[in-house]
Amino acid sequence: MTGKFSELDMYYFGQGTHYEIYKQMGAHPAEEDGVQGVLFQVWAPHAAQVYVIGTFNGWNENANEMERLKPEEAGIYACFIPGVKCGELYKYLIVTSDGTKLYKADPYANYAEKRPGTASAVADIMHFKWSDDAWMKARAAVKDIYAQPMTIYEVHPGSWMRHPGREDEGFYTYRDLAHSLTAYVKEMGYTHVELMGIAEYPYDGSWGYQVTGYFAPTSRYGTPEDFMYLINYLHKNKIGVILDWVPAHFPRDAHGLADFDGEPLYEYADPRKGEHPEWGTKIFDYGKAQVKNFLIGSALLWIEHYHVDGLRVDAVASMLYLDYGKQPGQWVPNQFGENKNLEAVEFFRHINTLITGRNHGTVMIAEESTAWPMVTGPAENGGLNFSYKWNMGWMHDFLDYMKLDPYFRKGNHNKMTFAMSYNGSERYILVLSHDEVVHLKCSMLNKMPGLEDEKFKNLMVGYAFMLGHQGKKLLFMGQDFGQSREWSEERELDWYLLEDPRHKHLQDFVKALLHLYKKNPCMYENDHDWGGFEWINANDADRSIFSFVRKSKDGKNNLLFVCNFTPVAREDYRVGVPKASTYKLVLNSDDAAFGGSGEKRPASIKAEHSECDGREYSIAYPLPGYGVAVFSYK
C-alpha cells in the first residue's frame, strides 16, 4: 500500500533524494476509509488541471479530477479512485494554462499497454515471491567485484528466438526466455546476460533506446511479474543480469515525456541544451532535482526491486559533452566557456556512488566512446565512479585489424597491441556489441577476409585473442556461432546454421574458450594492471603471431596464449616462456572438435634451456595456419 505525498516526501523530491520514489509516484493499489482502489500521483507543475482517464471510467475526461497537493508549488497531483483493478488502462489528461489538452502516459507507470497502444496499465509489482536469496547474499558478500569473472552475452529478447508459425510476432515471453535462454547461457559458459530493450518503448526499430516507460518492463514479452520470474530464474542458475539503461535522451512521442505538462519539464528548456538535432530526441535536464530523482528512482527500481545486477548506461558521451552531435550555434557553453556538461558529471558521480554503495556487488557500466578521463575513477578524485567502461578503442582497432587480408596485417600489428598501453587507465570491458553487426557493417563472420572456411578460422583466432586479453568481455548474440546475416530485430537468429558443421565447430570453440575463462582465475582476477598480463612477444609482426601470458595473483594458475593470424603454418614455432616448467596444452584450435585437422599434437611440452623472445627458456610447437594454442603451467 502507498500513501499520498507528504511535505517531507516533497522536500526529498525537491532535493532529488527521494530514492524510493517509484513506490509512490505512478499508480499503486491503496486503501482509503476501508475501500480498495488505486492511488494515482503525478508531477506536473505547469498544468492548470489534471485528470485520470481510463477503462475504469470509460475514458470520461471529467470523471476523476486530480487534487494539487500542498504546497502547490511542488506540482504534485494525486487522486484515489475506488474499485480500480490491476490491468486497467489509463492516461493523464493534462490541461495547460492556455486550455490545451494533452493525453500523457504515466512517467512512473510500472506497466504499459502493448504497442501500438500507448496507455499505461495499473500493476501491483510488490507481491512476487523471490527465491534467489543465495545469489543475492553471495553478490553482497563479494570482496572485490573486479576479481570476478564476467563474460556477457548481449541479448535482444524479441529476436533471440521466436515461436514458429504464430499469427502474432511469436515473441518468447519472459518465462519462455527464463528456461531457454538460461539453458543456452549455462551450456555456453557465459557468466552474465545483458538484456536490450527492457524499459518500455514504442518503436521496435529503436531497439529500446528511445524509452517512454522508465519504470515499466516492456509488455511485448509479458507482465512485470513475468519479468521478475526471468531474473529470479537466471539468478537461481548463477547467471548475472545487466540491463541497458538510457538516461541520455528520450523521444518526442506525444504520449511521452516531451513537454509533459505543456512546457519543457523533463528536458532542458533551451533547445540548444535540450535537443539532439541528429537524433530528433530530447535531453534530460540534469540540473533539475526532480528530473535527477526520476532517473535515480528508475535505476534503483531495476537494481533494488527487480534484483538486476548492473546497468549498462547508454550514450554517456552524449551526456558529458554539451556540443555532442551539434554544430556551432546549436549548443551553449558551460559557465567556464567549456563544452562539458557539469550537471551531467555531477549526476553520474551521484548515481554511481549511490547505486553501488547501497547495493554492494552491483555494477554501473559506461558506454563512453571518447577519451574522457577517469570514467571509472573514484568520485572523490574527480572521476565519474563507473564500475566499468566499454573499451571502444580496442573494439575499433581489433575490427580494423581482423578485416584485413592476412598479408597486410603485418603492417598493422600495433592495432592489436595498443590497447595494453592504456589498459590501466580505466577498468574495461572488451565488446563486440550489436552496433557492430547492423547498418551494412556485416556480421562478424562476414567481416573476416578470405574464402568461407578461412572466415571461420579467422573468427576463431580473433575470439581467442579477445578472451585472452585483459578486460571483461561482451559478445552479442549470434556471433558465437557465426551468424551470417546482419542482425535484425524483425526476425530470430539464424539458428538453422548450426546444421552446418562449420558453424557448430565455431560455437563449440567459443564454448571451450568461455569455460576455459571461468575455470582459470588468471583470466579474470587481475584485468587492470600488468600483474595479470605479460607479453611474450608483441613484436612478431612479420609472422602476425601474438604470444602472451595471463597470470594469477598467487602464481599457481597461469596460461600461455599463442595466436597465429595468418594462414601460414609454422611447423616448429618457438616461443619464449617465463619458467623452466612443463607446459600442458589445454586448448588447440586445430582439434577435430573445432573443425581442425585433428593432427596429433604433444599434450605437454617441457621447456628447453634455449633463449627465445629475450627469455632463457622456450618451447617449440607445430602452430597451424590461423592456429591457437593455449598452455597451462605452474
Between the alpha carbon of residue 56 and those of residues 31, 37, 274, 456, the distances in Å are: 17, 11, 36, 58
Q: Tell me: pLDDT of 397 over 70.
A: yes
* Domains in the chain: ranges and CATH: 7-121 (2.60.40.10), 147-253+284-326+341-522 (3.20.20.80), 530-633 (2.60.40.1180)
- The order of strands in the sheet holding 26-32 is 26-32, 35-43, 76-82, 67-68
Between the alpha carbon of residue 406 and those of residues 74, 409, 456, 536, the distances in Å are: 65, 5, 14, 21
Using DSSP's 3-state secondary structure scheme, residue 614 falls into coil
Q: Tell me: pLDDT of 472 over 80.
A: yes
Q: Report the C-alpha gap between 241 and 308 in whole angstroms.
A: 6
Q: Report the C-alpha gap between 420 and 428 in whole angstroms.
A: 11
Q: Work out whether the CA dihedral 135, 137, 138, 142 comes out positive or negative.
A: positive
User: In the predicted model, what is the mean pLDDT of residues 467-494?
Assistant: 97
* Angle at CA of residue 189, ends 419 and 391, nearest 5°: 20
Look-up: residue for cell 557468466?
191
Q: Work out whether the CA dihedral 408, 410, 412, 416 comes out positive or negative.
A: positive
Share of the chain above pLDDT 90, in %: 97
The C-alpha cell of 7 is what? 511535505
pLDDT at 169: 87
CA 79 from chain centre, in angstroms, equals 37
For 404-464, the DSSP string reads S-HHHHGGGTHHHHGGGGSGGGS-EEEEE-GGGGSTTS--HHHHS-SSHHHHHHHHHHHHH
Q: Work out whether the CA dihedral 368, 374, 376, 380 comes out positive or negative.
A: negative
Helix, strand, coil shares of the chain, percent, nearest 5, are 30, 25, 45
Q: Is 557 within 8 Å of 630 (Cβ atoms)?
A: no
| Burial class of residue 614 in the structure, from the number of CB atoms within 10 Å of its CB (0-12 exposed, 13-18 middle, 19+ buried) | exposed
User: In the predicted model, what is the mean pLDDT of residues 93-120?
Assistant: 97
User: In the predicted model, what is the mean pLDDT of residues 210-239?
Assistant: 98
Checking DSSP bridges between strand 120-121 and strand 89-95, what pairing results, if any? Answer: antiparallel
Q: Report the C-alpha gap between 442 and 253 in whole angstroms.
A: 31
Query: What would the pLDDT profile of 414-450 be if each residue is shown by its tens digit?
Result: 999 999 999 999 999 999 999 999 989 999 999 999 9
Question: What pairs with residue 81 in β-bridges?
Answer: 38
- 499 is a catalytic site residue: no
pLDDT at 623: 96
Q: Report the C-alpha gap between 49 and 396 in whole angstroms.
A: 52
Which residue, 121, 107, 83, is CA-closest to 24?
Answer: 107
| Burial class of residue 574 in the structure, from the number of CB atoms within 10 Å of its CB (0-12 exposed, 13-18 middle, 19+ buried) | middle
Q: Work out whether the CA dihedral 182, 188, 192, 197 comes out positive or negative.
A: negative
Q: Report the C-alpha gap between 463 and 474 in whole angstroms.
A: 11
pLDDT at 167: 73
Higher pLDDT, 439 or 396: 396
Query: What would the pLDDT profile of 575-616 be if each residue is shown by its tens digit?
Result: 999 999 999 999 999 999 999 999 999 999 999 999 999 999
- Confidence band (pLDDT; 50, 70, 90) for 556? confident
pLDDT at 74: 95
From 9, 154, 314, 527, active-site residue: 314
Q: Report the C-alpha gap between 378 and 385 in whole angstroms.
A: 5
Q: Tell me: pLDDT of 477 over 90.
A: yes
Q: Is 142 within 8 Å of 360 (Cβ atoms)?
A: yes
For 323-371, the DSSP string reads TTT--TTS----TTS-SB-HHHHHHHHHHHHHHHHHSTT-EEEE---S-
Q: Tell me: pLDDT of 185 over 60.
A: yes
Q: Tell me: pLDDT of 174 over 80.
A: yes
Q: Report the C-alpha gap between 57 and 18 in whole angstroms.
A: 31
pLDDT at 204: 94
Q: Tell me: pLDDT of 1 over 70.
A: no
Query: What would the pLDDT profile of 507-552 be if each residue is shown by its tens digit?
Result: 999 999 999 999 999 999 999 999 999 999 999 999 999 999 999 9
Mean pLDDT of the chain: 96
pTM metric for this prediction: 0.97
- 314 is a catalytic site residue: yes
Question: What pairs with residue 95 in β-bridges?
Answer: 49, 101
Instruction: Enumerate residues 6+ apart whose C-beta is below 8 A from 69.
Output: 4, 5, 10, 76, 77, 78
Which residue, 611, 617, 626, 538, is CA-closest to 583?
Answer: 617
Q: Is 410 within 8 Å of 565 (Cβ atoms)?
A: no
| Burial class of residue 364 in the structure, from the number of CB atoms within 10 Å of its CB (0-12 exposed, 13-18 middle, 19+ buried) | buried
pLDDT at 411: 97
Q: Tell me: pLDDT of 554 over 80.
A: yes
- Encode 261-290: b = buried (16+ Cβ within 10 Å), e = exposed: bbebbbbbeeeebbbbeebebbbbbbebeb
From 194, 309, 367, 397, active-site residue: 367
pLDDT at 130: 98
Q: Tell me: pLDDT of 347 over 80.
A: yes
